[in-house]
Amino acid sequence: MGGVVGFAQGGPVGCSSGGAAVQGAPCGLLAEQIGALLGAPGVVRAHWGVKVMGLDGSPIYWMNEGQFFQPASNAKLYTTATAMALLGGGTTFETKVVGKVSGSDSRTVEGSLVLVGGGDGNLSGRDVPYVSPALRPKRQAGDAPPPKVDPMRYLQALADQVAARGIQVVTGDVVGDDQLFPWEPYPQDWAVDDLVWGYGAPVSALTVGDNQMTLTVGSGTAVDDVGTVLLDQAVPYYRVDWSMRTGTSNGGSSVQVDRAIGSKVLRVYGSIALHGVPDVEEIAIQDPAEYAAMVLKAMLEAKGILVKGSARALHLEGYEEEGFLAQSRVPLPAAGEAIGGAKSGRRLISCVNDCDLRTHAGMTTLASHQSPPLRDDVVITNKVSQNLHAELMLRQLGNALGDVGTTAQGARVVRAFMTTKVGIDGEDFVLFDGSGLSGHDLVTPRATARLLQYAVGQPWFADWKKSLPVGGEDGSLMSRFPKAPLAGHVFAKTGTLGEARALSGYLECASGKTVIFSIMVGNHAPRSNADRDAMDKVVAAIAAAN
267: number of Cβ within 10 Å = 16
Contacts of residue 86, Cβ cutoff 8 Å, sequence gap at least 6: 339, 340, 397, 400, 401, 413, 417
In this prediction, residue 351 carries a pLDDT of: 59
Of 30, 81, 301, 34, residue with least CA distance to 169:
301
pLDDT at 152 over 90: yes
> What backbone phi and psi angles, to 5 degrees, belong to 516?
-105, 140
Least confident of 5-14, 473-482, 522-531: 5-14
pLDDT at 344 over 80: no
Which helix (H) or strand (E) segment is 355 a member of?
helix 355-359
Question: Is pTM, for the whole model, over 0.85?
Answer: yes
Give the whole-number percent of the chain exceeding pLDDT 70: 92
Beta carbons of 521 and 494 less than 8 angstroms apart: no
Give the whole-number percent of the chain exceeding pLDDT 90: 83
In this prediction, residue 353 carries a pLDDT of: 64
In this prediction, residue 26 carries a pLDDT of: 40
CA distance 500 to 467: 22
More confident of the two residues 27 and 303:
303
Q: Is the peptide bond before 373 cis (omega within 30 degrees of 0)?
A: no
349: number of Cβ within 10 Å = 10
* pLDDT average, residue stretch 114-132: 97
CA distance 413 to 333: 11
In this prediction, residue 136 carries a pLDDT of: 86
Q: What is the pLDDT of residues 417-468, one digit of tens each?
A: 999 999 999 999 999 999 999 999 999 999 999 999 999 999 999 999 999 9
Of 239, 204, 235, 347, residue with least CA distance to 301:
235
Beta carbons of 519 and 535 less than 8 angstroms apart: yes
CA distance 443 to 216: 37
pLDDT at 119 over 50: yes
Q: What is the pLDDT of residues 89-116, one digit of tens each?
A: 999 999 999 999 987 779 999 999 999 9
Cα 1 to Cα 15, 453, 544: the distances in Å are 10, 19, 21
In this prediction, residue 350 carries a pLDDT of: 56
Q: What is the pLDDT of residues 359-418, one digit of tens each?
A: 899 999 999 999 999 999 999 999 999 999 999 999 999 999 999 999 999 999 999 999
* pLDDT average, residue stretch 255-270: 95
Rg (CA), the chain: 25
- DSSP assignment of 57-117, as one string? --EEEEESTTS-B--GGGHHHHHHHHHHHHT-TT---EEEEEEEEETTEEEEEEEEEEEE-
239: number of Cβ within 10 Å = 11
Of 433, 383, 424, 373, residue with least CA distance to 406:
433
